[in-house]
Structure 1
Amino acid sequence: MSQGVILCVDDDATVVRSLRSLLGGSVGDFDIEIAESGAEALEIALELEERRQELVVVIADFIMPMMRGDELLIRLHQIHPNALSIMLTGQSDLEGVKKAINEANLYRFLEKPFDSDDLLLTIKSACNAYQSERAVGLHNAQLNVLNVELEEMVSKLKIQQEDLTRSEAKATISTLVASVSHELVTPFGNGVLTADVLVELTRKFNQEMENGQLTRSGLRRYVDSVAEAATLIQRNLRRAGDLLANFQQMATDQASECRRTFDLATVVGEIVDTMKHRLRGKPHSLVQNIEPDIVMDSFPGAIGQIVINLINNAYLHAFEGRANGVFSIDAHLQGDSVHLTFTDNGVGIASDHMAQLMKPFFSTKVGRGGNGLGMSIVANLVEKVLDGTITVKSTVGVGTTFYIVLPLAAPH
């Protein structure tokens, strides 16, 4: 099967015949096309475009009647933008060369009379460079497909979010969307950066091969570098896949009232991870001390909502005007119940506010980031969804602790 087409263009019939003879059987599975004028070369290029055949390399004479080589290469580049160009001439025209470099993807400039071996090595090197760029292009296309799939997922989640805006308890799905989008920047960015390095390594490798400077140790370094780059790309794509898998599970939990069996430390850890990028700029710390192997048969979406609301409440209210705040989440098993405590070393809650703390629409910051629903939602989820209890103790100037007790298995 043909890997593409190499097009030779020269107004000297003797030259094109020698080029055909030189290339025949020497450049692998590439078709060879011959043209004796710029107009004929353009016709061939258009026919290739109609047949969806790839034009890989163009070898063109610089001085030709009717249409100069640099002008031809520029027009061919408009039809086949990925094709690499090699220009042949017996005259020096630096302006024409500069124009071809800038506008026609010029790969190399060879003066006549050219050495056959040198020309053949240049053509092979150009073919290798073209295939390397195509491989990187396919990789980038795969990344684009993954990005499209992610955008489609985010679009579907936005539709779900619009349906759930009537319930403040379900609105945290927007936080998950923003968080996973932020966290995916790193693996995707690393993957693209590694692909760019791979392109540059391949370019240098081709240059050494073209100049006859390639050594066994150089080949070994290139193979090792390609293997390392492939491993890095694979690792980052897997990291992105893991993030998406975790995100899908959390989004499902938040967007539905799904009951399932889960490990408490894992669910809380995933929720905290999604909030990290929002909390990084804050001068406070978040500590988790959850007893391992607490396996619950309950509603992870509700527990996630409780964790998010209590963290937001502490960062919005408890740490106002303070630096180096500490918010800790602790959990341990006691019989058939799970005991959770959420503690901050913040400003505390005034005694006249304690009685109203769990009431809807009560907030000391209405219009300044608070809507008065956060704590009432927490109480509703604990008591009505999870069949648990919640109590609060607070000392002004010292801090606040929320005590939540939940059954290991939520009632049916």
Structure 2
Amino acid sequence: MNKQTIICVDDEEIILDAIQEQLQASFGEEYNIETSDSGEDALEFFKELLDEGQQVPVVISDYIMPGMKGDELLKEIHKLSPDSLKILLTGQASIEGISNAINNAQLYRFISKPWDKNDLVLTVKEAVKSFFQEVKIRKQNKELLELNASLEEQVIERTEELRKANAAKDKFFSIIAHDLKSPFNALLGLSEAMLENWDIFPDEDKLDFVMDINKASKNTYTLLQNLLEWSRSQTGKVVVEPSEINPKNIVQNNIDVLKQHADSKEIKIVNKVDDSVRCYADENMISTVFRNLISNAIKFTNINGNITVTSSINHQLISFCISDDGIGMDEKTKNELFNLSSKTQRFGTSHESGTGLGLHLCKEFVEKNGGTISVTSKENEGSTFCFTLPLSN
């Protein structure tokens, strides 16, 4: 590492030689003791040192010199490096000059000529010590500011995490309090009515009751399934296990699972996913995403409607889109779909209930697998949900 520099300025060569000799004996091993016979030259040399990234702890200057006087030199040096400590060493300084150096250059010390060697060495030693203490304090202050900024950022992040956790908790209890309670009330009411009136109900009414119980049971099971998967993802218990998967098969399997619901509304579902495409993702998670998005499409599509599942490749990503010609949604509803704290519950075209939880689960699972999810929709014209996944190499 280059030695740091102490600069001495005086227009008399004999003075410079004496100062340099005295300081060299005490500081020569640690510092370069440089001299200059004019303020202008000293200022240029000082600038060169700063440009080279060197620190100049101390500048010692005479006051009366041809051209630039000592107080003006120290003032200019202070503008360039406020931390460098400035010492006037002169026998002819005026009160005005000293005041100028004190007020505009933060003069560290004034020493009269002729000087005492020990006083000069001690003054420079204390100045150097003070300089590096200030450097250390500035460094510590900078580190503290950076630490505070980091802590503030962590507090903001933690606050946001807590906000999301509270929203998740509120959503959880809302589902338990309302969305699970309602279907169980229906199940209990239907089953009790059948038990109490079994002998007097005609067979066709019994069949209707059984179908209603079956429908309520399926909806409740789907809700419980989503709730379980979502709660596991919130507690970090869901581990992503990606592998090479065939998305067309996954889509078809979920269409088959949901066929009864689609058939009851005479909805046609077409699987146009490219059979040759393979993506790299967790099969169970992606199956859950397709199941929820196709189920939602069925829910909000009118009788005799159409749903299409397509795929397209863009660089190293494959995009899947589930499109329907159903009731769609307005801009406000669309913008709040993935906001857990918003109430976006809507009933389907056959009065199917829902919590919106499935969409939050889709978003989490897609993002955990390195993708993104989006939606476009227009009222009375339908909706299209698209998400991306990495292609398999």
TM-score (norm 2): 0.41
TM-score (norm 1): 0.39
In our comparison, the structure showing a higher alpha carbon Rg is 2
